[in-house]
Structure 1
């Protein structure tokens, strides 16, 4: 059966690549078969286990060739959370409101939201957000806020925007202007200007893409704002949603690109958690300004909470997984300009320090990038460090060394 499953998977992939429909017999090995008297429980579990194991081998083979789609498949560290799968965790309703449903992870969710709020430059008492089921839901919520604020607004979005934006325009029955893009994939602000001038009598709801789906281009937020001002749109006549599915987690750490921040006149930002961060289930984060959310807020008596999100029941595991990866990925480090010495937190494991021949001082360790140090060696070191940190710290926050290296160099959950 395992060999047959492999053949079927390969046939399925080949036909999928060719765009062919799948005949039903290619799914026979995956049909749900009810228990019968001829197969005992042990045999049944053994059969199911073999099928899943073979599918796991198929996934391992396919992920080794995974280059064209935006998802991070370094997910092994999440196995530490596998025991949570014995619970049905539901974050129904507003993440900042308790409910009578006791099996939720809203404390983890708020921890994740606070982190992203700091990342995008908005104070704790000024933002609202939630962990979504993916980037499309974040876009749905952001554009909905824009439409509720500006009911007569026109949606402006680049032709290279994510396909969800055009679907959203149809779902919300919004007038939509598709803006041309430059050769590199970013929004053509000359075309935006021309279309804004034609529609000066109606508010503008602008979708900014931070990392377009195919070319990875970033729309120029600052230039879009200047264009709106040039066309006579005051702050209360436009709403900007930023679809930052992939790059929203990258841009804040790059010095050479304009900041993505709520210090600028944006209304909302959404990212995907399963892409750059590598959460093993589709999820995302939506952050907006707290004063906007009252428009969507409805008290629901029988769940004893407030409905403010697109979905009702929400995956309660996703916030824990996001919280976990943000904690283990944030390593305090310092690299002085023009230096070849990288300073980071001291590993609490003498054997690890000895193996990698690290020098340590107080709470710090360092790596010196000499000519013999290859990229492969650094990759092995980082993989080993990240894996061992899971063992050393578990789900606790690793030691912060901001006092030694400066708060500006610390990317722990407190100082990021």
Structure 2
């Protein structure tokens, strides 16, 4: 197996790099529109224009900052070692030896252990992997919860979540064949623990698979994990956290306890069972990926049940993952974000991002109060408000939704203040609001 130590010793182009003598001369691809389908406009020039416009994306939780030179230097080191020049595959459990030597399981193990520590998982009791996306991580969390709960009780659980949960939760609930118990929300959009308690009492014969959201998609609400756990006392349950965006930056703030596995008041007490965090949101990783982290003890129990369904002898271990072949390049690349220097930069980004969210909220309250701007808590980087003109929605790629506010359906938009949304970008946005908008009736 190729280890970090071994490949970091390689120099120059590396023994596995593609030789320039093996590639055709003048391999400069020019898009030939005559070869494209008539309905498709192929233009690298159009793609290049996005580099000058990317910082205007305010409506979706994507960090559009260009990654550091250190990240691209790391990529070159990986390339020099042959990673991403021929087939690599992280099939199976990254904490087991693989029958396929061309893998990056060692990088994957290390980044899971480092991020597990960041989220407060106990040393020696951490398991996880780098998934294809946040939805993939949620799928594994919900499948693990369903498997464990059915294994313990012989009964399929019911899935508990709110209408504010990400739409992928509804898809995954359907995919897993689970009955939904929809929980009411508090005024800020977070799960109502009292309604959860009542719904649990109404369904005593089924275990509970609860999916809590740390940072709801449109409003930025945070489900109260500790109050949810209080409601779950006495019930057989599995609590999975969808912390796609907020789980990226909260560990670097004074609010790290929101996503901590261990209770701050009682470290022996677990606050949840598994967590999903997106890599392409706050971190700015350049392609979709996700962290899935749970305890090794949960995984071992799950894998014993999983082995009754899927035990492929030819890969030399029970994989413990839903997907079989897994991307081996992403874990090696994302390993960069677990390094001390990258963590320092993430902490800096988290601080400035929340400061800019405060700035935007204050300015909108001061100058655009008629848009009814709302930031539901001090941990959120999301401000939602009455929908402005279509021109502004299009320029800044704003997400829009109809919300029921005071028993009236009204169309709203939101800004998600990501690291690229600095004061200059936010000032331009508000200048456009000032030019474009008249008070709404």
Map of 1:191 onto structure 2: 195
Map of 2:60 onto structure 1: 69
Q: Distance in 2 between matches of 1:189 and 1:299?
A: 39
Q: Distance in 1 between matches of 2:241 and 2:259?
A: 9
1:173-219 residue CA offsets vs partner (Å, 9 max, x unmatched): 11111112122111112221221111123211111101111111110
Instruction: Give the TM-score normalised by structure 2.
Output: 0.61
Map of 1:45 onto structure 2: 29
Map of 1:133 onto structure 2: 132
Map of 1:284 onto structure 2: 290
Alpha-carbon deviation of 1:135? 0.8
Q: Distance in 1 between matches of 2:247 and 2:56?
A: 25
Aligned with residue 58 of structure 1, among 28, 33, 49: 49
Q: Distance in 1 between matches of 2:221 and 2:92?
A: 35
Where 1:321 maps in the other structure, the secondary structure is: helix
- Kept in 2: contact 1:75–1:280 (CA 8 A): no
- Kept in 2: contact 1:75–1:279 (CA 8 A): no
Q: Is 2:85 the partner of 1:86?
A: yes
Q: Is 2:103 the partner of 1:119?
A: no
Map of 2:306 onto structure 1: 296
Q: Distance in 2 between matches of 1:202 and 1:106?
A: 37
- Kept in 2: contact 1:88–1:103 (CA 8 A): yes
1:148-189 residue CA offsets vs partner (Å, 9 max, x unmatched): 111231110011001111111111111111112122111112
Q: Distance in 1 between matches of 2:52 and 2:344?
A: 31
1:88-130 residue CA offsets vs partner (Å, 9 max, x unmatched): 3211111011223122111110111001110122223212111
Aligned with residue 268 of structure 1, among 274, 278, 283: 274
Alpha-carbon deviation of 1:42? 4.9
- Kept in 2: contact 1:113–1:287 (CA 8 A): yes
Where 1:85 maps in the other structure, the secondary structure is: coil
Map of 1:360 onto structure 2: none
Instruction: Give the TM-score normalised by structure 1.
Output: 0.64
Taking structure 1 as reference, are residues 52 and 99 closer, same or farther at Cα in structure 2, changes over 3 Å only? Answer: farther
Q: Is 2:335 the partner of 1:323?
A: yes
Q: Distance in 1 between matches of 2:135 and 2:347?
A: 36
Map of 1:174 onto structure 2: 178
1:361-393 residue CA offsets vs partner (Å, 9 max, x unmatched): xxxxxxxxxxxxxxxxxx9xxxxxxxxxxxxxx
Instruction: State the number of aligned residues.
Output: 293
Q: Distance in 1 between matches of 2:47 and 2:133?
A: 24
Where 2:194 maps in the other structure, the secondary structure is: helix
Where 2:344 maps in the other structure, the secondary structure is: coil
Alpha-carbon deviation of 1:333? 12
Alpha-carbon deviation of 1:325? 2.4
Aligned with residue 168 of structure 2, among 164, 177, 192: 164
Alpha-carbon deviation of 1:326? 2.7
Q: 1:139-158 counterparts in 2 under 5 A?
A: 139-151=138-150, 152=155, 153-158=157-162
Where 1:330 maps in the other structure, the secondary structure is: helix
Alpha-carbon deviation of 1:52? 6.1
- Kept in 2: contact 1:97–1:306 (CA 8 A): no
Q: Distance in 1 between matches of 2:326 and 2:32?
A: 28
- Kept in 1: contact 2:55–2:65 (CA 8 A): no
Taking structure 1 as reference, are residues 190 and 299 closer, same or farther at Cα in structure 2, changes over 3 Å only? Answer: same
Alpha-carbon deviation of 1:240? 0.4
Where 2:259 maps in the other structure, the secondary structure is: coil
Q: Distance in 2 between matches of 1:258 and 1:127?
A: 18
